[in-house]
Every structure is written in structure tokens, then in C-alpha cells.
Amino acid sequence: MHIHIPAVGRTLEAELRRKVDRKTKPPGSLGRLEELALQLGLIQGTLSPRILAPHILVCAGDHGAAKAGVSAYPQDVTWQMVENFLAGGAAINALAHTAGVELVVADAGVAHDFGPCPNLVDAKVSASGTANYLDGPAMSTEQCAQAMANGARVARDLAVRGCNAIGFGEMGIGNTASASLLTHCLTGAPLVEVVGRGTGLDDAGLARKHALLEQALAAWPERSGEPLDVLARFGGFEIAMLAGAMLAAAEGGMVLVIDGFIVTAALLVAARLAPAILDYCVFAHRSGEPGHAVQLAHLGTRPLLDLGLRLGEGTGAALAFPLLGAACAFVNEMASFESAGVSDKS
């Protein structure tokens, strides 16, 4: 994938800040919404930012390592939840609906034949999910590139449909284990700090997951620090697809709304390939999965919400979208001290 992501221009910064500061409120009193408005204005290169045709892209994939026992749930939950998304019965359906955000669900490599399914984006790289990284690479270099290209295609299609903000979500039993390995390799944080209970492992399950992931690292003695090598070795098809979608979305000047631990692992890969992508990212929430805090600290960022969510599916991103709308609304709709005839600080 050839991607060029320019850093967001800052020429409008002073003017945007002045516009925000002249609104009928004490300076800074809209808190994080003011920073958000500024960021959205700079991404869009305008004094009047707007969120248009927002979407959540949920990428789903299966993991060979799931069968080794890294999750509390069986692998079949991945395809069953994809069918639940398509039927409208999952948390992300309810939260996207209440936020006024359209949902797009993509099969990045789920080990299930969905048959003809008009509402599912077919981006299946393998009919059986990734290989088990305990035995070798999770995917080939070609499969990794294919999954990333599929993500880029979907992001570009959304742009053509008038969308200028994408929230990213995922579904994949075993993908917190994959995200832990990616995070360890790409941030240098000790494995123990980035391995968590995922969907709900008990203490014994967590110890087993940690031991398996140590084993996975030991099985790759010639370990490379290159982000695409790490992605192919330990990633999932949904994670690679997300990384590609994020890169293309930022290249297209869109706003990227980042969900939890797995989505942020995909961003770690993308940010190593194109560091300026971070200018386009709004971090929706802090997941309850402990490694997410490590990722956020590594990226030097602070999320908008901290609700103890650890579901994935893009649920944190869906919850953050109304805040993006609120940031645009106050910049575009509020009066200024001058226009409203309100006295400023003496």
C-alpha cells in the first residue's frame, strides 16, 4: 500500500482558537470540547467543522490461536456475533443507532461461510482465519497486504459516499491476545503489562494466556521490529484490515475515531508506517482492558471517555460521536460576545 499522509496544517490554528474564545463563555469553559473543535477544524481545514455521514466500520476475523485457549469464549462466537450485527441485535447496533451513525460490517477473514449476504462487506482473506502464531506466522506477507488493501478500499468507498468521519471497531475471538503481542512488540512494554482478561478469563485463564503468549514470542527468535513483519506474525485479518482502512482514511483527510485495545493495536502499526496519522485520530475511550492504558500512554494521548467499557465492536467510538457533533455545534451555532452583545471580562 502506497500511502502519503501529510501532517495536519496549522495555519488556521490561531483563527480557530480566536473563534472558540469569542463564543459567549469564559475561555476554556467548554473544556475538552474546545480542543476537539480545534482538532476537527484543523483536520478539515475550516473554521466551521462538520461531521458528515459518519460511519462505524466493524472488521471481523478469526484467530488460529483461539483454539489454543487464549480466550474465555469459543471461536464460533465470532461468526455468530457477525450474524447478530447483521440482524441488528448487538450492542454496536443500539449504540450506533442512538448516535445516528451508520454501521458497516466487514468479514476480514472469519472462519465461516456466510453465504450470500448483501449487508456484509466481503473482504475475506482466508476462509479459515489466521494460522496459529504459536507455530509460525499468523498470515503471509501477501495476505497481510491484501487485508490492508481491503480496508483501504472500504475507507475510500465511504469517502465517496460523503463520509468524513469513521469510527473503527472489531470482532474476533482471541484478538486481545493478538493485540497484546503487537503492543508488546511495537511499544516495548513488558508483556505482562499488556496481557489482560479480554472477554473475561479467570486468574488461571489469564496465567495460561500469558504463558502461551510468552511461547509465541519464543517461537519467533529472529524477531523483526518492522511493523508489517510484526503484524503478519501476530496480527489478525481484522487488525490488518483496520490498519489499512485507517491509513486510507487519514490520507483522505477524514476524522478517525479510535475505539479500544484491539483497534489501538491496529493504529500502533499504522502510526509506525505513517506517524502523521495521529493528527487525524480522536481517541474515544479508555478500555477496561489494562493494555489500552499502556498504548494510550505510549501515544501520549488522552481519550474522551472512561466508562469501563471492554466490549469492542466500536462501542466506545459510537459513544464518542455525539461529542464530535457537540464540538462542531458549539463552534457553528454559538453567538460571540460581539454578536450577542454580551459583556466580556472587564
Ligand X SMILES: O=C(O)c1ccc[n+]([C@@H]2O[C@H](COP(=O)([O-])O)[C@@H](O)[C@H]2O)c1
Least distance (Å) between residue 73 CB and ligand DMD:
4
DSSP state of 6: P
Query: Kind of pairing, strands 165-171 and 55-61?
Result: parallel
Amino acid present at 105? V
Cell numbers for 310, please give them: 471492554
CA–CA distance from 254 to each of 40, 246, 294 (Å)? 9, 9, 26
Among 81, 159, 163, 194, the residue binding ligand DMD under the rule CB under 6 A is 81
Residue 255 phi/psi, 5-degree rounding, is -90, 135
What is the rounded distance in angstroms from the CA atom of residue 246 to the CA atom of residue 255? Answer: 9
Angle at the Cα of 224 (from 69 to 291), degrees rounded to 5? Answer: 45
71's contact among ligand X, ligand DMD, none, with CB below 5 to 8 A by partner kind, is: ligand X
Q: Is 336 in the site for ligand DMD (CB under 6 A)?
A: no
To the query of whether residue 313 is one of the catalytic residues in this protein, the response is yes
Among 131, 140, 189, 199, the residue binding ligand DMD under the rule CB under 6 A is 199
Among 44, 59, 61, 71, the residue binding ligand X under the rule CB under 6 A is 71
Q: Is 319 in the site for ligand DMD (CB under 6 A)?
A: no
Which stretch in 124-132, 134-142, 242-250, 285-293 sits in contact with ligand X by CB under 6 A?
285-293
Least distance (Å) between residue 205 CB and ligand X:
9
176's contact among ligand X, ligand DMD, none, with CB below 5 to 8 A by partner kind, is: ligand X
Rounded-to-10 torsion of CA 289, 291, 297, 301: -40
What is the rounded distance in angstroms from the CA atom of residue 238 to the CA atom of residue 138? Answer: 12
Identity of the residue, 24 or 80, whose beta carbon is nearer to ligand X in the bound complex? 80
- 112-171 residues in contact with ligand X (CB under 6 A) are 170-171
Look at the block and give the residue holding cell 506466522: 137
164's contact among ligand X, ligand DMD, none, with CB below 5 to 8 A by partner kind, is: none
Q: Is 83 in the site for ligand DMD (CB under 6 A)?
A: no
Which stretch in 5-13, 130-138, 207-215, 308-316 sits in contact with ligand DMD by CB under 6 A?
308-316
Among 54, 64, 129, 174, the residue binding ligand X under the rule CB under 6 A is 174
Q: Is 85 in the site for ligand X (CB under 6 A)?
A: no
What is the rounded distance in angstroms from the CA atom of residue 338 to the CA atom of residue 195? Answer: 54
Residue 47 phi/psi, 5-degree rounding, is -85, -10
Q: Is 176 in the site for ligand X (CB under 6 A)?
A: yes
Q: Is 73 in the site for ligand DMD (CB under 6 A)?
A: yes
Among 313, 319, 323, 328, the residue binding ligand DMD under the rule CB under 6 A is 313
Of 179, 149, 143, residue with least CA distance to 259: 179
Of 247, 281, 256, 252, residue with least CA distance to 150: 247
Helices of type H across the chain = 13-21, 32-44, 76-87, 91-99, 141-160, 175-187, 191-194, 203-218, 227-234, 237-251, 261-273, 291-299, 315-333, 337-340
Identity of the residue, 154 or 296, whose beta carbon is nearer to ligand X in the bound complex? 296
Question: Which residues participate in catalysis according to the annotation?
Answer: 313
Interface residue list for ligand X (CB under 6 A): 71-73, 170-177, 198-199, 259-262, 287, 289, 292, 310-313
Interface residue list for ligand DMD (CB under 6 A): 73, 77, 81, 171, 199, 311-313
